[in-house]
Chains A and B, each alone.
Chain A
Amino acid sequence: MTDKLKEELCFLETDLEGVYDRFSGDEELYLRCLEEFMEDTSVKDLGENINMENWDEVFTSAHALKGMVGNMGFVPLYHELASFVVSVRTGHKEEINNRYNDIYKNYCRLIDVLENNLDRRNRDEHK
């Protein structure tokens, strides 16, 4: 993992220290998981399910996403998803939409960083 990527992830308040611990220091595995995260469509699916008011699916995918981003060390996104799950439970639609927008923005920033720093070819090899 390049220093630039680390720097940019840190800028986005990623808990790299916790990540190293959780991944047993296996940087390669983390990189592979980052690439999987880039390919994962859960955030986009979440938006579609909100639009369709398919609340069970919203809850399930938000819950799943929360667990994954937490493990990936994306602390702000994790907290936003945690609040989002609470909102889904309470059923405030406006709040749900607002929180999803925050999640999506945060997600996009992360994806930008990852796309700029991870070589596509490498990514293909890792797949």
Chain B
Amino acid sequence: MNKRTVLIVDDSDVNRKILTNLLKSDYEIIEAANGEEAIRAIQSNYKHLSAVLLDLIMPVMDGFEVLKKVSNDSVLSQIPIIITTGSDDNETEINALSYGALDYVTKPFNPQIIKRRLNNVINLRETAMTVNALRRDKLTGLYTREHFIKLATELIQTREPETFVLEYLDIDNFKFINDQYGNDVGDSVLKVVGDIFSSSFDNKDCICCRISADYFALIYPAEYIKSGQIDKIMCNASMLDGLMSSVSISEGRYIIEDISLPVSTMLDRAGIAQSIVKGRYDEKVSVFSKEMLKKITEEQFVLNEMKPALEGGQFVPWFQPQYDHSSGKLVGAEALARWIHPIEGIISPIRFIPVFEHNGFIYELDKCIWRETCRYLRMWIDEGINVPPVSVNVSRYDIYKDDLIDVILGFVEDYDIPKELLRLEITESAFSDSKTTVIDVVKLLIDRGFTIEIDDFGSGYSSLNTLKDVPAQILKLDMKFLRNTKSDDKISSRGGNIIESVVRMARWIDMDVIAEGVETAEQADYLESVGCDIIQGYLYSKPVPADEFRNVLNNTTIERELPNIEKYFGESDLWNSDSLDSLLFNYFVGAACVLEYQNDRVEMLRANNLCIEMFGGINADSENILAINWKLHMSEDSIRQLKSAIIESSKTKNAVNRQIEFYDIPGCSGRKYIRSLIRVVAYIGDRYLVYCINEENTIDREQINRAQATTNVFKKFITKLHNGQAIAIYTELSMKYFYCNSKMLELFGYTEDDLARGVADEVGDLIVSGDRERIHRVIKLLENDGDTVYVDFRTKNKAGEIINVSGECMLFNGLDNETPFYIVTLSMSEKEQYVGGTNCDR
């Protein structure tokens, strides 16, 4: 290790010699005989000077002058100075210390004290430098990330939520600046930006730091955004004070709504927001939202789960059949990756494919799907099933893998699959990356006997060039590229012309065309009319699990009948966004949805806004609602109700009303009761397409349930009484039993069945004739709601015998001026019972 350097300043040659001799074994020594020499030595050696031993009383320039000059220089003042002085000179020592000397030693020198004090000040300075380096960024002088976090935590801990903003900034294309102008200019840019930040945020409510490289962070009061202060500062920082042409700064803001969060987490959130606008020309500021966190969390979930999922066999191929529309025969299929997660259920490919493409895991996924597809093909071939060609996806990222061809060949050979049965789909956009490489790989695969399909044809920028150069055999046209608008399923006349031209062109160069994403019979008919017979899409089938596809394969000889939506729906088409049905569906029918039902599995295929709102609240996302596994949120009875309605509707071709109960729908607590008008619009085998118009009656149902519960408790209570008890409703026309307990039934000689069958309904008919009129006269005297009168009367039991009954009759005027009615509560004990005929008439 290099020795530290010490400067000895003394006009006495003897003193210098003594000190040099004393310290030379531990330090490199530089000598100066007066103040002027000392200043020159300090200026030329400051970078590696560890300390100065300075005599005060000297000719030419004394030690005090040296101390003054050094203390006025921010860099030189960092060097620790020990003064050498006489022991009787306290005042001088105090003065020297006030000028910035760190310590003093007295003459005559004490070697031990000099060495110790020199060592102490050097250590102190080096420790201070280390601490400073931890707190301050060397280049910009701004705080370091660690110290920023500490200061920001202190700043916000007593503040109100949403009053401060934490901002994460990045200079766009900073790498370009370094590459183009050199690192020195790059450093200058960082320094200028840092200077603007430190001068602009120079108050106790603002802190700024350089996180690393060209990343900065700020914390400031939220009101700075409203006042336009932040925009102004960013504008100044971008202009770079004439250093070079302006730079672009992207900003991510986290409005501190939760002050209990660690500042490092807030920084992460601001960073997430910043990543949204990084490199964008039109938008430079993004504010963190929970949706961003959700997206990142989802991505993180995918990243965390992908390896165990691969090892655990959670990635499986599902098969979407391809049909010849002219004959209805199955002619092929596409194997599509599905992730069956043990807790999450089926995870949509939209959630994981982009993540895998980004991190390179897509190759592992694709290999898994290729292998599994080959395994299934082998299994079905062994079962004697007539297997059509199945295509698998080869990602644009897979093309560059050195072992790609060997891997595919390996699977085909391992499972002994005829190569014509495993087709390879390469997306057209892959050809725009490095055309030569991709074409070379395609040629090699074709040479090995594989059939290549160009997937998503029409999505690339130079589709015609691709057709010209790529020796693929099949084009796949995705209908979504040829629709009028995003939501329109109809083919526009322009789109139709393009399809026709592509199909014709493909035929000229001896390529087959498969249309995918075909959802309507109209689309299929059109495609057939222009010569594209092979159809893949929801019209025929969505992707299905392997066992279901196996069943489809078993039925390949049976020509399939198209699901005829018009059969029940008239001439218009629900799937066309500009059709009358769609208009009604979206705006006039209330909360409507289209379900697919098969073996108690319920999937919502489409829902209008009212329906989405009904199930998920005002801010509900249609994707989330459609992704719900409804079976998990319906009671067994409700599933039975739905099933019976579907069967009834498919038989009668009429709509059927049902009360359906849902519970624990994601984002919606408690139970939900829906009155649903259910109509089957199409079916294939046991799979039904069902149109539902829904009306929520949760509040009514809950009231009914509560009333029912009360009635049940009441009935239970009355049933337990020993005396005969009955409740009847009396109107001018009749008196009907509402409820009789078992004792009363026994006394009357009736059973519950008799009551249920209405045998004893007309209680009034059984009352002895004179008593009937008397009751009538008495209760007619009642005027006000709740007035009560006691009545005794004689009535007949089931055997025709006369029995005495006591009752309390109460008047109810009924709601909304309805006809008044009377509740008669009857009671009778066995002792009171009188059987006979002599005193019947009073």
Question: B191 → chain A, closest Cβ, in Å?
Answer: 46
Measured in the bound complex, the distance between the Cα atoms of B12 and A71 in whole Å is: 11
Q: Is there contact, CB below 8 Å, between B21 and A26?
A: yes
Total CB contacts across the A-B interface at under 8 A: 64
Q: Is there contact, CB below 8 Å, between A68 and B111?
A: no
Question: A22 → chain B, closest Cβ, in Å?
Answer: 6
Q: Is B134 an interface residue (CB 8 A)?
A: no
Q: Is B715 an interface residue (CB 8 A)?
A: no
Q: Is there contact, CB below 8 Å, between B21 and A72?
A: no
Q: Is A24 an interface residue (CB 8 A)?
A: yes
Q: Is there contact, CB below 8 Å, between A37 and B14?
A: yes
Interface membership of chain A positions 13-52, coded 1 if the CB is closer than 8 angstroms to chain B and 0 otherwise: 0000010011110100100110011000000000000000
Q: Is A60 an interface residue (CB 8 A)?
A: yes
Using known A-B contacts A71-B108, A85-B88, determine if residue A23 contacts B18 with beta carbons closer than 8 Å: yes
Q: Is there contact, CB below 8 Å, between B14 and A21?
A: no
Question: B17 → chain A, closest Cβ, in Å?
Answer: 6
Using known A-B contacts A67-B15, A68-B12, determine if residue A22 contacts B108 with beta carbons closer than 8 Å: yes
Most A CB within 10 A of own CB, among B13, B58, B84, B86 = B86
Q: Is there contact, CB below 8 Å, between B111 and A36?
A: no
Residues of B contacting A22 in the complex (Cβ-Cβ under 8 angstroms):
18, 22, 108-111
Q: Is there contact, CB below 8 Å, between B59 and A67?
A: no
Q: Is B55 an interface residue (CB 8 A)?
A: yes
Residues of B contacting A18 in the complex (Cβ-Cβ under 8 angstroms):
108
Q: Is there contact, CB below 8 Å, between A29 and B107?
A: no
Q: Is there contact, CB below 8 Å, between A68 and B15?
A: yes
Q: Is B61 an interface residue (CB 8 A)?
A: no
Q: Is there contact, CB below 8 Å, between B111 and A21?
A: yes
Q: Is there contact, CB below 8 Å, between B14 and A82?
A: no
Q: Is B11 an interface residue (CB 8 A)?
A: yes
Q: Is there contact, CB below 8 Å, between B14 and A23?
A: no
Q: Is there contact, CB below 8 Å, between B21 and A23?
A: yes
Residues of A contacting B86 in the complex (Cβ-Cβ under 8 angstroms):
63, 66-67, 70, 82, 85
Interface membership of chain A positions 72-85, coded 1 if the CB is closer than 8 angstroms to chain B and 0 otherwise: 11000010001001
Counting chain A residues whose Cβ lies within 8 A of the other chain, the interface size class is: 20 to 34
Question: B35 → chain A, closest Cβ, in Å?
Answer: 13
Measured in the bound complex, the distance between the Cα atoms of B15 and A59 in whole Å is: 18
Question: B71 → chain A, closest Cβ, in Å?
Answer: 23
Measured in the bound complex, the distance between the Cα atoms of B545 and A7 in whole Å is: 112
In chain A, residues 70-127, which have Cβ atoms closer than 8 Å to a Cβ of chain B? 70-73, 78, 82, 85-86
Q: Is B626 an interface residue (CB 8 A)?
A: no
Residues of A contacting B13 in the complex (Cβ-Cβ under 8 angstroms):
36
Residues of A contacting B55 in the complex (Cβ-Cβ under 8 angstroms):
67
Residues of A contacting B506 in the complex (Cβ-Cβ under 8 angstroms):
none
Residues of B contacting A68 in the complex (Cβ-Cβ under 8 angstroms):
12, 14-15
Q: Is B647 an interface residue (CB 8 A)?
A: no
Measured in the bound complex, the distance between the Cα atoms of B13 and A115 in whole Å is: 20
Q: Which of B12, B21, B88 contacts A24 (CB 8 A)?
A: B21
Q: Is there contact, CB below 8 Å, between B18 and A66?
A: no
Q: Is A5 an interface residue (CB 8 A)?
A: no
Using known A-B contacts A22-B108, A29-B21, determine if residue A72 contacts B57 with beta carbons closer than 8 Å: no
Question: A110 → chain B, closest Cβ, in Å?
Answer: 14
Most A CB within 10 A of own CB, among B12, B14, B21 = B14
Most B CB within 10 A of own CB, among A66, A72, A82 = A66
Question: A80 → chain B, closest Cβ, in Å?
Answer: 13
Most B CB within 10 A of own CB, among A26, A59, A63 = A63
Measured in the bound complex, the distance between the Cα atoms of B85 and A71 in whole Å is: 12
Q: Is A10 an interface residue (CB 8 A)?
A: no
Question: B246 → chain A, closest Cβ, in Å?
Answer: 60
18 contacts between A and B (CB under 8 A): A18-B108, A21-B111, A22-B109, A22-B110, A23-B18, A33-B14, A36-B13, A59-B57, A60-B58, A64-B11, A64-B12, A67-B15, A67-B86, A67-B108, A68-B15, A71-B18, A71-B109, A78-B108
- 18 new A-B contacts at CB < 8 Å, known A33-B14, A37-B14: A22-B109, A23-B18, A24-B22, A29-B18, A36-B13, A36-B14, A63-B57, A63-B86, A67-B55, A67-B84, A67-B108, A68-B12, A70-B86, A71-B15, A72-B14, A82-B88, A85-B88, A86-B88
List 5 A-B pairs, minimum CB-CB distance, nearest first: A70-B108, A67-B107, A63-B57, A33-B14, A71-B108
